[in-house]
Structure 1
Amino acid sequence: MDRTSILKVITLMVTAFGIGIDFTGALMLVPAIENSFDADITSTQWVLNIYALFFAMTMVAGGRLGDMYGHRKMMIIGLSIFLFASVLCFVSPGLDYLIGARALQGIGAGCVWPCTLAFGATKVSKPEHRALVMGLILAGVTTGNVFGPMISGAVVNFGDWRMFFLANVIFACISMVTAIILMEKETQHKKGEHIDFAGMGILSFAVLLLLYGLDVGADWGWTSVPLLLLFFVSAILFFLFPRVEKRVKEPLLLPQLMQNREFLITLGLNMFNVSAVFVGLLYFPQYMQKVLGWSVFQSALGLAPLTVLLAVGSIISGTLYNDFGPKRLLVWGYICVTAGAASIVVMPAGLGYLQILPGMTLMGLGATLTVGPSGTAAVCAVKPERAGLVGGLSFMTHLVYGAISVACATAVMYVTSLASLRNQLSADGISMSDADQRALNGGTLTTDSATAVLAKLNSAEAEKVKSAIASAFDTGMNMAFVFATLSVAVGILLAAKLDEKKLHKVEG
């Protein structure tokens, strides 16, 4: 690549780095947020889920607006929104306020990310460099994934998790300056485009109601009438979505793309590769803090086998894409992720960090062979003027399914861990109300609610309860990975069915 192209790639990597820091860094803050707002995991999971959902649903619009008005312009607008939302996160007085600010962050990131991918896919010097550039951009975001937990760990050690969001402000400013200076303004844009707000709205509400139902199911009762009505409305919206898409002028799912079997398979491959990784990013740090007793910073270092492999592997997968093609990379990648998720389930309890280390390593290796190639295959399969749209569409499916996976896994985890805690307390002869058991389950022992419950016990009983909680969390996490294993295994079948030759004839 020439010097100009290299500078452009550096700019895109800096932007991706800032987005990567926010995603994993915020996950590491979950126990600290639970303590600060006296919440449990079913509530704090929204710090991840609401961001992923709004990120996902904004990406298609952000990509299409970039195609219409310029990817550089939309990147700068998105970074401005992201910066403002980061300030709101910093001053959040409560969990609901924080969740709302995270939703706004997702909107900003959703404008930035597809335009970053599209700029990298269309503005490099030679077409044969495209896969390498995409790999470098993904390396930027995954390198941010590595440093994000370390930054959040450091700020928690200083005593205030809110300081993490100041790092977001700093990197958003850096990204804006480099984009303004190093990226030239585009003069030619796609004209006559329309944005499918109706489709995005229906799909967003369908997913949001599904996630909310999975969140409150344990409290409302899984067979309660209000919950069943919630799921029913969500199902109706999912049912209406394809019918609305047939009536709009420019649907989210373009007919010429959706009629191609290989392209649909590729979208599926963008979905299923995130199940185990998203669940791992949420639960591995909590396992290290709640079961092993590690600090946030120690947990960040413990997560490195997953995050470092994601960062390094993004570059490697970009160089391997042209040599081996997406199919072989995806098949072996999905096998590795499935084996890693399954290892969490079968590894015996009591091994400490070694219980999750093999799984983290296999999942990190497998994710490097699936995330980049699946996204690159989708973007490279269309005309350049559709790159922003398809980049947004592929990562939309990626993040929406990731949010759904986390919600499903958390529902399974919470119910399983609560049942385990109840059984162990009964075996230890400790009587405790259902309300007190719920206060202890799924959160940290230092929340106000948990502290009040433990204060009712003598020292011997308190130690037994702490041991039961750690064991219950481990049991619940294992069941969450049963769901993740089954979900990721679907990707092996899809990858085996992929026909690369037909895939690259889309819109040909």
Structure 2
Amino acid sequence: MDRSSVVKVIALMVTGFGIGIDFTGALILVPAIENSFDADITSTQWVLNIYALFFAMTMVAGGRLGDMYGHRKMMLIGLSIFLFSSVMCFVSPSLDFLIVSRALQGIGAGCVWPCTLAFGATKVSRPEHRAMIMGLVLAGVTCGNVIGPLISGTVVNLGDWRLFFLANVLFATISMVTALLLMERETHHKQGEHIDFAGMAVLSFAVLLLLYGLDVGADWGWTSSPLLMLFFVCAVLFVLFPQVEKRVKEPLLLPQMMVNREFRITLGLNMFNVSAAFVGLMYFPQYMQKVLGWSTLQSAFGLAPLTVLLAVGSILSGKLYNDFGPKRLLFWGYLCATVGAASVVVMPAGLGYIQILPGMAMIGLGATLTVGPSGTAAVCAVKPERAGLVGGLSFMTHLVYGAISVACATAIMYLASLQSLGERLTAAGITMSEADQRAINSGTLITSSARAVMEKLSTAEAEKVKSAIAAAFDTGMNMAFIFATVSVSIGIVLAILLDEEKLHKVES
């Protein structure tokens, strides 16, 4: 590559790095955000879920808009939204404000990411350099995934989790400047493109209702009329989605693709591989902080077996796919992830970091063998002219199911830990109201409501309660990983069903 192309690739890598740090870095902040806003885990999970959902649902539209109006222009618009929303996160006066700001960040990232890939693939250098360039851009993202938790840990140690979002502001600003200075304005755009706003709206609203129902279920009561009505509306929207798709000009899911058996299987393989990884990214840092008593920075380093393997895997996945083929790679990857998730459940309590270390390593290895290859397999299952659409669709499916997995796991975790806490308090001879138990459940005991509960107790009682909370969190986390184990194990079945010969003989 010439010098100009090298500089442009570096600029794209910086953009990817900024997106990468935002996703994993925000996860490490969850306990600090809980303490800051006196919230519980069912509420703070939205810091991850709302970002993933809006990122996923915006991405296909962002790519299409880039095709229609210019990838450089959409990158600048997306980066502006990302920068503005990062400032909103920094100044957030409440958890609701932060969640809305994270949704805007997801929209900005959803506009930036597909246009970054498209720009790297089509505008930076000659076609023979395309694979290398795409690998370097992905390397920027995965390096951000590794560094993000370290930035979070550092800023929390400095005393304010909000400082993390200034890093978003910094990298968004650098990316905007480099896009303006280094990336040429496009003059030729696709004509006659259509965006399935109706389908995206129906699907987004259905997923949002599902996530919200899982969030408030414990408070409303799982058999309450309002919650059952909410789930009914959610189910109606999911059923309505395919009907909407039949009536729009260019649907997200083309009917001719959905009759392709191998495409359906690969779409499923893109879904279930995120269950263990997303649940792990959510709960491993919290376990280290709430049960082991580690600092945020220590937990960021402790998460390295998972994040480093994810980063290395995304870089190597292309070579692994070519060497071993999708079927073997996906089967062994899903098997590793399933064993990793199950190991968290079966490892004896009280082992400290060793209790989760094998799970982190196996889940990271499983993700290495499945995330990239499942997307490649989905693209291989359709005609070349649909590769861009399917690439975005597979990543969208990946993120949406990841958000659903976290919501389901969190609902299970919260109920299990609350029940365990009540049983342990009763066994210890401590009487506590249900409201007080909810205030301290899965907490770090430094929120204002938790402190108010602990102040009512004697020193001896407080020690028993702290022990009960840690044990209850461990119980709840184990139940969350039972869900993750079952979910990710579905991928083993799908990998067995995948027909490699048909996968490479596209007919639809």
Q: What interval of TM-score do these two structures reach, taking the shorter chain for normalisation?
A: over 0.9
Give the equivalent residue in structure 1 for 2:59.
59
Give 1:249-268 correspondences, 5 Å limit: 249-268=249-268
Distance 1:218 1:481 in 2: 19
- Kindly provide the CA deviation profile for residues 352-380 of structure 1, in whole angstroms up to 9, marking residues without a partner as x: 00000011011111111111122233346
Q: Is 1:461 matched with 2:461? A: yes
TM-score normalized with structure 1 length: 0.95
Q: Which secondary structure does the structure 2 equivalent of 1:367 belong to?
A: helix
Q: Is 1:140 matched with 2:140? A: yes
RMSD: 2.0
Q: Does the 8 Å CA contact 1:18/1:144 hold for their aligned counterparts?
A: yes
Give 1:333-348 correspondences, 5 Å limit: 333-348=333-348
Distance 2:505 2:183 in 1: 31
Give 1:321-360 correspondences, 5 Å limit: 321-360=321-360
* Identity, % of aligned positions: 83
Give the equivalent residue in structure 2 for 1:439.
439
Give the equivalent residue in structure 2 for 1:107.
107
Distance 2:99 2:230 in 1: 21
Q: Does the 8 Å CA contact 1:114/1:389 hold for their aligned counterparts?
A: no
Distance 2:285 2:359 in 1: 14
Q: Does the 8 Å CA contact 2:290/2:470 hold for their aligned counterparts?
A: yes
Give 1:121-200 correspondences, 5 Å limit: 121-122=121-122, 132-200=132-200
Give the equivalent residue in structure 2 for 1:474.
474
Mean Cα deviation higher: 15-24 or 129-138:
129-138
Give the equivalent residue in structure 2 for 1:280.
280
Give the equivalent residue in structure 2 for 1:306.
306
Q: Does the 8 Å CA contact 2:263/2:382 hold for their aligned counterparts?
A: no
Q: Does the 8 Å CA contact 2:262/2:381 hold for their aligned counterparts?
A: no
| Residue identity matched to 2:342 | A
Deviation at 1:391, TM superposition (A): 2.7
Aligned residues between the structures:
508
Give the equivalent residue in structure 1 for 2:485.
485
Distance 1:15-1:162 versus aligned 2 partners, 3 A rule: same
Deviation at 1:126, TM superposition (A): 6.7
Distance 2:441 2:220 in 1: 16
Q: Is 1:90 matched with 2:90? A: yes
Distance 1:342 1:136 in 2: 34
Distance 2:13 2:414 in 1: 38
TM-score normalized with structure 2 length: 0.95
| Residue identity matched to 2:268 | G
Q: Does the 8 Å CA contact 2:21/2:148 hold for their aligned counterparts?
A: yes
- Kindly provide the CA deviation profile for residues 89-121 of structure 1, in whole angstroms up to 9, marking residues without a partner as x: 011000000000000000001111222333444
Q: Which secondary structure does the structure 1 equivalent of 2:247 belong to?
A: coil
| Residue identity matched to 1:16 | G
Mean Cα deviation higher: 71-80 or 229-238:
71-80
Q: Is 1:14 matched with 2:14? A: yes
| Residue identity matched to 1:413 | M
Give the equivalent residue in structure 2 for 1:413.
413
Distance 1:361 1:230 in 2: 38
Deviation at 1:11, TM superposition (A): 3.1
Give the equivalent residue in structure 1 for 2:496.
496
Distance 1:482-1:418 versus aligned 2 partners, 3 A rule: same
- Kindly provide the CA deviation profile for residues 52-100 of structure 1, in whole angstroms up to 9, marking residues without a partner as x: 1111111111121122223232222111111110011011000000000
Deviation at 1:260, TM superposition (A): 1.7
Distance 1:237-1:120 versus aligned 2 partners, 3 A rule: same
Deviation at 1:17, TM superposition (A): 1.0
Distance 1:386-1:117 versus aligned 2 partners, 3 A rule: farther
Q: Which has the higher contact order (CA 8 A, sep 6+)?
A: 1
Distance 2:296 2:340 in 1: 23
Deviation at 1:314, TM superposition (A): 1.5
Give the equivalent residue in structure 1 for 2:289.
289
Distance 1:134 1:291 in 2: 40
Deviation at 1:145, TM superposition (A): 1.1
Mean Cα deviation higher: 468-477 or 269-278:
269-278
Deviation at 1:133, TM superposition (A): 4.3
Give the equivalent residue in structure 2 for 1:364.
364
Listed as ranges, the gaps of 5+ residues in structure 1 are none
Distance 1:386-1:80 versus aligned 2 partners, 3 A rule: farther
Give 1:224-235 correspondences, 5 Å limit: 224-235=224-235
Give the equivalent residue in structure 2 for 1:236.
236
| Residue identity matched to 2:96 | D
- Kindly provide the CA deviation profile for residues 181-201 of structure 1, in whole angstroms up to 9, marking residues without a partner as x: 443444443221111111111
Distance 2:142 2:481 in 1: 22
Distance 1:419 1:382 in 2: 48
Q: Does the 8 Å CA contact 1:153/1:297 hold for their aligned counterparts?
A: yes
Distance 1:232-1:170 versus aligned 2 partners, 3 A rule: same
Mean Cα deviation higher: 486-495 or 318-327:
318-327
Distance 1:102 1:146 in 2: 20
Listed as ranges, the gaps of 5+ residues in structure 2 are none
Deviation at 1:148, TM superposition (A): 0.6
Mean Cα deviation higher: 171-180 or 206-215:
171-180
Deviation at 1:312, TM superposition (A): 1.6
| Residue identity matched to 1:303 | L
Mean Cα deviation higher: 226-235 or 117-126:
117-126
Distance 1:429 1:76 in 2: 61
Deviation at 1:258, TM superposition (A): 2.2
Deviation at 1:442, TM superposition (A): 2.6
Q: Does the 8 Å CA contact 1:334/1:488 hold for their aligned counterparts?
A: yes
Distance 1:416-1:129 versus aligned 2 partners, 3 A rule: farther
Q: Does the 8 Å CA contact 1:132/1:318 hold for their aligned counterparts?
A: no
